[in-house]
Structure 1
Amino acid sequence: MNKLSSKHRKLAYVIAIIILLIPVIWLGMPSTGEEGSGGELAQLRVQYELGESTLGDVDPSSASMNFVLLGLRGIATNLLWMDAKDYQERKEWAKLRSTVDSIILLQPHYMKVWDFQGWNLAYNVSAEWDAVEDRYFWVKEGIKFLNEGVARNERFPELDWKIGNLHGQKVGRSDEWKQFRRFYKVDPNTERYDGGPDPEINPERLDNYQVAKQKYLIANEKELKHKQHLQMRMLFRAAPWHAQFDYANAMQREGKFGKERTDAWAQGFKEWTTIFGREEFITPKGAVVLEWTDDDIENLAKRDNVSVSDKKHWTDRYQSTANYRFWRTRALSESEQQTIDAHKAIYDGEVSFTEGKFDKAQAELEKGMSLYASVLNKYPSLMAEDLAIEEGLKAVLLWRDIHDLKGIPAPESFPLKPLWIKEQGRVPGLQEDLRRDLGIQ
């Protein structure tokens, strides 16, 4: 057997390495981001949406960090989470934010990181500040953090839903909702934003509930391709239309009872019944639609090979779960003049009370209570909704406070008495809210 010289062996090794590199390069060449670039594996990852770039924007520093840490990423992440909690407890906000930024370098596609920290900044951290302006700043930080999460993770409709929830519920329903809604259109940092909103939060200068609706619609669009794991599908997809109702309701909470408010309720009714109400949702007995006719029920029963009674049963159950009939009735009733007059009289009574005009306040409240009682008698299902109940109870509380201030007993019989008796469990909390909001001693 001829033995190869050392030189020949080395040459053979080099040739073998080159030959082996050819399939490696062909298979594993990374993509440049352009269509058709990269090796066979890179193109397959793009085709089947398995690559990191298909999840959203890629941060090169994130990939570098993971490479340097090798198998220690989990340990490093746990330590950073512990540091973040410690900084929050010590109220070292700058260090908290930088630590959170380090966490997302290590876990850019772990949804819970974005979800929890966005919520944490908007709720927990903001609550630690005394000035409302500072609280609003941290609410914005929570929204911006989630915006970054959406850019990095396009397959999580839950994140878009969470952003919508912060725009809607945090800005519009907090104890500071009056200031937050004002800051939403005119940021307290007037010098930086020229007397307008923060463009990262509200680029189109819309109402916070209108932006929430936009985010919920994006979430619904993504949910058609990527399953969400936040809540029942029907409730998830109802969010845009609830934001529309919240938009209309917010205007009347601020004393706006004109055409814009009425049109908003009318739009809500139309979208609730013609878009959400006509969407099919799957039950154990096939598909149902919430806004149905007899023909719908019969056709769906025939298509799914089930009985009409089964189809009606599951339609009714899903309507109840979504509170569909209530919101249908509420939106319809809010377009009626009697309902508008009732809201306006109660609102005017509250304003007169704060101005110390007790006789005028009493007259307006009694007018509003009488009209509101008529609305509830016409639409008794309204007495199942928190805001509707609280509006009536607050009117009665103010009316009774006026009698106390005058040193005279309130009459035993008064409009809304059935609601007052039925909802006594809510009264102490509402009374405390009124005393805080209106400065009642």
Structure 2
Amino acid sequence: MSTVNSRQRKIWYGVGILLLLGPVVYLGFPARQTAGAVADSGGLGVLSQKRQQYDLGEATLGKVDPSSSAMNLLLLGLRGPAATVLQLKAIDYQERKQWAKLRATVDSIIMLQPHYVQIWKFQGWNLAYNVSREWDKVDDRFYWVKEGIKFLILGTNRNQTVPILFHDVGEFVQSKMGVSDEKKFFREFFVRDPDPRFKTTSGEPGPDRTINPDGKDSYLVAYDWFVRANEKDDNDGVIGVKGKTHVFFRQGPARALLYFAKTRAEKGLFDEHIPAWDRAYKSWMDDYGKMDFLGLDDKKYRLNCTEDELKALAEENGVTLQEQRRIWAQNLDMTNFRQWRDIADLERTPEMLEARRSSFEGKKAYNEGRNSDTMLPDKTVQISDSQKSLEAAMTQWAKLAEKYPNMFIDGDNVEDCLLLVQYYRVVCQLNGRNMPDSYPLKDIWDKHPSRHPDAERNFLIETRLQQRK
């Protein structure tokens, strides 16, 4: 017969509960956020601290609108359906052009699913590419491009171990500032934001520090993000990254430097032109070209490869030298590796530097208004400074094309030549003259009639941008 009465049993139960409560509190105590979002609970809350350390926590659910249907689903443990409801609402708000509600709904979605990478990728793209196109003013478009980039940056903060998000930030900055239809405006706005909130202490336009904290060129900011993405990708260039073909993923830093080098002459920074191309060439050939990648059937290849390296790779892959050469050539073509190598090589020559310089001087003469012919006392006509400069520039480009016939593999060189001719055409029109029957680069102009509207549009954009300065 037990000698323990009811009162004693209750005491023992209470002691047992307290003993078990100790480890529960030690492990499960909520972490306190300190400066820098570092979890600290004075030694308590081990599990919470680990969640913070490894970015596994879901601490933002309380920020979802408590009156929404999404919250009702969330309280029932239906986080997936709740996110779906919000996605549908976001699409509806976008179709009805209710931008404030769209942005708030997107914020709620990421609070529900902060580690679902596709949410960040899709909505970042949606804001930067789709929503921005709904606006007419280029300033407003730039605002929504920034919103998309900021959204992705927030995604990198919540997903520190996902390389593709870091890469996408670089891709967005690079493509929207350097490739989009509004690129000439956006690249300027990236360092001189038209939003008055970002004026410097001197009253001059400054950058939005959220996306450009150091006020750098957009391609250099993209370069920094690509470098971080490659650092996050700890597979050393062999195993693929989810979301992008690995050989394209890893070329981000080198491509950004190639694009950056193109801008030096555009800005009249001729002393920086050749050094920038030297740096880009080295990055493309050595940093990127010497990486190892896996192709089909996990066959290893290297883009910048010597004959001896080809033989060694063929032996390692267990294939013939002919098969290894085929794998190598196939990927050279796919990545345009040789094309960019040749472009960088050409841009580093003194002849190309002189062509870039003469183009800049010709456009500068036009934008300064030196476009009118002058009647001399002896009744002869002295052609305008801009026409002289433009003719000199076109002559320089024509000589370059004769020496390097493959230079027009780079479509940007075709665009540059057509734009020069468009400037020349406008100067002739201003002075009441038709285009002469023969002039430098006429063969290039006649060869690309489908690109004439692009040249006219680029002329209007470029001259309008000069007027804003």
TM-score, normalised via structure 1 length: 0.82
Once the two structures are superposed, residues 190-237 of structure 1 have per-residue CA deviations (whole angstroms, 9 ceiling, x without a partner) of 555535433222222221111100001111122235953333211111
Asked if 1:182 is matched to 2:188, the reply is yes
SS of equivalent to 2:211: coil
Equivalent residues of 2:74, 2:82 under 8 A apart: no
Q: Matches of residues 288-307 of structure 1 in structure 2 within 5 Å?
A: 288-307=301-320
Name stretches of at least 5 consecutive residues in structure 1 with no aligned partner: none
Bigger Cα displacement from structure 2, 287-296 vs 392-401: 392-401
Equivalent residues of 1:230, 1:236 under 8 A apart: no
Cα offset, 1:297, TM superposition: 1.6
Asked if 1:199 is matched to 2:209, the reply is yes
Q: Matches of residues 212-231 of structure 1 in structure 2 within 5 Å?
A: 212-225=222-235, 227-231=240-244
Residue 424 of structure 1 aligns with an amino acid whose one-letter code is P
- Aligned partner of 1:126 in structure 2 is 132
Distance 1:278 1:347 in 2: 36
- Aligned partner of 1:426 in structure 2 is 451
Q: Matches of residues 306-321 of structure 1 in structure 2 within 5 Å?
A: 306-321=319-334
Asked if 1:93 is matched to 2:99, the reply is yes
SS of equivalent to 1:60: coil
Distance 2:100 2:448 in 1: 46
Q: Matches of residues 40-439 of structure 1 in structure 2 within 5 Å?
A: 54-55=54-55, 58-62=57-61, 68-190=74-196, 193-194=199-200, 195=204, 196-225=206-235, 227-254=240-267, 256-284=268-296, 286-354=299-367, 355=369, 357=371, 359-406=384-431, 408-435=433-460, 437-438=462-463
Once the two structures are superposed, residues 367-394 of structure 1 have per-residue CA deviations (whole angstroms, 9 ceiling, x without a partner) of 2223223333443333222212211122
Cα offset, 1:413, TM superposition: 4.3
Residue 379 of structure 1 aligns with an amino acid whose one-letter code is Y
Alpha carbons of structure 1 residues 251 and 318: separation in structure 2 relative to 1, 3 Å: same
SS of equivalent to 2:161: coil
Distance 1:351 1:163 in 2: 34
CA RMSD between the two structures: 3.8
SS of equivalent to 2:294: strand
Cα offset, 1:18, TM superposition: 6.1
Bigger Cα displacement from structure 2, 123-132 vs 153-162: 123-132
Distance 2:99 2:430 in 1: 46
- Aligned partner of 2:380 in structure 1 is none
Cα offset, 1:14, TM superposition: 5.8
Bigger Cα displacement from structure 2, 213-222 vs 115-124: 115-124
Residue 306 of structure 1 aligns with an amino acid whose one-letter code is V
Distance 2:30 2:158 in 1: 18
SS of equivalent to 2:78: helix
Bigger Cα displacement from structure 2, 157-166 vs 194-203: 194-203
Distance 2:327 2:220 in 1: 32
Distance 2:305 2:106 in 1: 48
Residue 145 of structure 2 aligns with an amino acid whose one-letter code is V
Distance 1:27 1:107 in 2: 28
Distance 2:434 2:194 in 1: 45
Once the two structures are superposed, residues 268-291 of structure 1 have per-residue CA deviations (whole angstroms, 9 ceiling, x without a partner) of 011111111111122247322222
Residue 159 of structure 2 aligns with an amino acid whose one-letter code is N
Alpha carbons of structure 1 residues 428 and 203: separation in structure 2 relative to 1, 3 Å: closer
Alpha carbons of structure 1 residues 414 and 37: separation in structure 2 relative to 1, 3 Å: farther
Once the two structures are superposed, residues 147-197 of structure 1 have per-residue CA deviations (whole angstroms, 9 ceiling, x without a partner) of 111111123222111111222221234444344333333333455553543
SS of equivalent to 2:243: coil
Alpha carbons of structure 1 residues 192 and 304: separation in structure 2 relative to 1, 3 Å: closer
Cα offset, 1:74, TM superposition: 2.9
Alpha carbons of structure 1 residues 175 and 95: separation in structure 2 relative to 1, 3 Å: same
Residue 380 of structure 1 aligns with an amino acid whose one-letter code is P
TM-score, normalised via structure 2 length: 0.78
Bigger Cα displacement from structure 2, 148-157 vs 123-132: 123-132
Distance 2:357 2:413 in 1: 14
Residue 301 of structure 1 aligns with an amino acid whose one-letter code is A
Alpha carbons of structure 1 residues 61 and 230: separation in structure 2 relative to 1, 3 Å: closer
Residue 381 of structure 1 aligns with an amino acid whose one-letter code is N
Bigger Cα displacement from structure 2, 279-288 vs 107-116: 279-288
SS of equivalent to 2:300: strand
Equivalent residues of 1:397, 1:431 under 8 A apart: yes
Distance 2:311 2:387 in 1: 54
Give the total of aligned pairs.
429
Equivalent residues of 2:63, 2:111 under 8 A apart: no
Name stretches of at least 5 consecutive residues in structure 2 with no aligned partner: 32-38, 65-70, 373-383, 465-469
Bigger Cα displacement from structure 2, 209-218 vs 422-431: 422-431
Residue 413 of structure 2 aligns with an amino acid whose one-letter code is A
Bigger Cα displacement from structure 2, 400-409 vs 106-115: 400-409
Equivalent residues of 1:257, 1:344 under 8 A apart: no
SS of equivalent to 1:197: coil
Alpha carbons of structure 1 residues 236 and 377: separation in structure 2 relative to 1, 3 Å: farther
Bigger Cα displacement from structure 2, 356-365 vs 161-170: 356-365
Residue 357 of structure 1 aligns with an amino acid whose one-letter code is N
